[in-house]
Amino acid sequence: MTEKLFGTDGIRGKAGEFPLNRATVRIVGSSLAAHLSQRLGYQPTIVIGRDSRESGVWVEEELILGATAAGAQCKSAGVITTPGVAFLARSLPADAGVVISASHNPYYDNGIKIFAPTGQKLDDATERLIETDIFAGSEVTASIQHDFLTKSAMEAMEADLQGRYMDFLAGIGRGLPLQSISLVVDCANGAASNLAPSLFDRLGAKVIAINHTPDGRNINLDCGSLHIETLCERVISENASLGVAFDGDADRALFVDRRGNLVDGDGALWVLAKYLQARNELDHNIVVATVMTNIGLEIALRSRGIRLIRTDVGDKFVLDQLLLTGASLGGEQSGHIIYPRLSLAGDGIITTLLLLRSILEADKTLDELTEGFERYPQVLLNVRVREKRPFEDMGLQNLISNIEQKLGNTGRLLLRYSGTELLARVMIEGENQTQIDQLAHELAGAIDRSIGPS
């Protein structure tokens, strides 16, 4: 069986090392173009964008060399957000969109995400075909002749494609009276560094941009959605209405209210669900989230007659469930929110625009809108194991049932293995921190005695 390289968020690793070394990236471009051409019956058009990390330039060049060798036409949007590429793939139209980004990872990592024209991630079947080509060593000749555009022509293409995305976003924000809003925008020195401050300024907000001067190595460095502390302090010192922090490719956003309190993806889902429900736009009264979403959100939504459906962790699974149920809102605690009426890709800037609309139409502050959602205490323990034996085969069922009975309807147990390490993860939420700590350690101890390292 071919080793799996594509995860829920594409291929990711250290830039320059397999599978993100030059030769392999070139194969990815060639393989994608060849399989698209075979399926479509014509030479495909591929739109490409990247975030601000220094390796993005050569990764894009190798990808283009491979794709053009297989007959594809490539269009570069330059430094642009992941959802920006998804939008362009849908609207140009193109036959695929490729994002060169490692999202929230450090600068020395990079990744390749591929979108279908719908804006959805590439189908699993094509990902497996590309993996097969990679491991077959389908070398793309290094003597490929490819005429890269002149610098001025490339800049004109990038400006045109970025402008299309900006116009799309501006259309979503059209009519918002943002003159009353002061917004601190933490761009994580990433893909949103030029786009987000320009957009909110264009829409009339008072914008205080921070971490918006990328140098190729400072993406996500002590800033953005992984390091919210600076944003909290800046919102208070600027007496701002709110703050937003993006990650490196701006497909997610976390918020800070005027008091300096974090509003994560769960909080954003609560605010947006109420807003959409009031407008009769919360289809089927369903919100889709993951197994990591706090039970407090589930309880708060239930009080308004809204059902929470949980999926595995990953925006791909959230989107699958949104499409299956016809729901209109879903997301992750990490701030990755999907609103299918506008985009099938999570888009931190769209989430910000929707949240601003909710605030202005309700004539309330963000901290007022998050009232009614009580975050329940949570404990997460990692147990190192020697094997990933099915939990049901370990004689734990009575203990698990006893824990779930004690938690009742105001608590939750989640037991799963890490996808990348020999770890069992025990997560318990409930009303009482002391109780859930005791229950979690009891279960972790039982797992350790059964399959812990010898």
Q: Is residue 168 part of a domain?
A: no
Whether pLDDT at 1 is above 50: no
Q: Are 223 and 188 in contact (CB under 8 A)?
A: yes
264 burial (CB, 10 Å; 0-12 / 13-18 / 19+) is: buried
Q: Are 437 and 406 in contact (CB under 8 A)?
A: no
- 333 and 269 housed in the same domain: yes
Place of tokens 């407008």: 279
Q: Is residue 167 part of a domain?
A: no
Q: Is residue 408 part of a domain?
A: yes
Q: Is residue 5 part of a domain?
A: no
Whether pLDDT at 196 is above 80: yes
Band of pLDDT at residue 140, cut at 50, 70 and 90? low
- 221 and 142 housed in the same domain: no
pLDDT attached to residue 171: 98
Whether pLDDT at 147 is above 70: no
Whether pLDDT at 419 is above 80: no
User: What would the pLDDT profile of 106-122 be if each residue is shown by its tens digit?
Assistant: 999 999 999 999 988 88
pLDDT attached to residue 149: 73
- 360 and 398 housed in the same domain: no
- 195 and 296 housed in the same domain: yes
Q: Is residue 382 part of a domain?
A: yes
- 386 and 356 housed in the same domain: no
Q: Is residue 389 part of a domain?
A: yes
- 20 and 90 housed in the same domain: yes
The last residue of one of the domains, among 369, 388, 406, is 369
Three-state secondary structure readout of the chain: CCCCCCECCEEEEECCCCCCCHHHHHHHHHHHHHHHHHHHCCCCEEEEEECCCCCHHHHHHHHHHHHHHCCCEEEEEEECCHHHHHHHHHHCCCCEEEEECCCCCCCCEEEEEEECCCCCECCHHHHHHHHHHHHCCCCCCCCCCCCCCCHHHHHHHHHHHHHHHHHHHHHHHCCCCHHHCEEEEECCCCCCCCHHHHHHHHCCCEEEEECCCCCCCCCCCCCHHHCCHHHHHHHHHCCCCEEEEECCCCCCEEEEECCCCEECHHHHHHHHHHHHHHCCCCHHHEEEEECCCCHHHHHHHHCCCCEEEEECCCHHHHHHHHHHHCCCCEECCCCCEECCCCCCCCCHHHHHHHHHHHHHHHCCCHHHHCCCCCCCCEEEEEEECCCCCCHHHCCCHHHHHHHHHHHHHHCEEEEEECCCCCEEEEEEECCCHHHHHHHHHHHHHHHHHHHCCC
- 291 and 180 housed in the same domain: yes
Q: Which structural domain range is residue 349 located in?
A: 175-369
> Bigger pLDDT: 395 or 140?
395
Q: Is residue 321 part of a domain?
A: yes
Number of domains the chain contains: 3
The last residue of one of the domains, among 369, 386, 403, is 369
pLDDT attached to residue 151: 85
What CA–CA distances, in Å, run from 346 to 128, 293, 297, 435?
A: 24, 17, 20, 36
The last residue of one of the domains, among 99, 129, 161, is 161
What CA–CA distances, in Å, run from 27 to 20, 113, 129, 136, 398?
A: 10, 15, 12, 10, 51
Whether pLDDT at 307 is above 50: yes
What CA–CA distances, in Å, run from 216 to 21, 25, 75, 79?
A: 18, 19, 22, 11
Mean pLDDT value across the chain: 94
**2 vs 397: CA distance, rounded Å:** 35
* CATH code for the domain of 322: 3.40.120.10
pLDDT attached to residue 142: 44
Share of the chain above pLDDT 90, in %: 91
- 259 and 336 housed in the same domain: yes
Q: At what angle do helices 348-362 and 82-91 cross, to 10 degrees?
A: 90
pLDDT attached to residue 2: 58
- 275 and 404 housed in the same domain: no
- 322 and 184 housed in the same domain: yes
**What mean pLDDT comes out for the span 421-447?**
95
User: What would the pLDDT profile of 180-195 be if each residue is shown by its tens digit?
Assistant: 999 999 999 999 999 9
pTM (two decimals) = 0.92
* CATH code for the domain of 422: 3.30.310.50
Q: Are 315 and 332 in contact (CB under 8 A)?
A: yes
Share of the chain above pLDDT 70, in %: 97
pLDDT attached to residue 78: 98
Q: Is residue 169 part of a domain?
A: no
State the catalytic residues: 103
- 192 and 77 housed in the same domain: no
- 15 and 89 housed in the same domain: yes
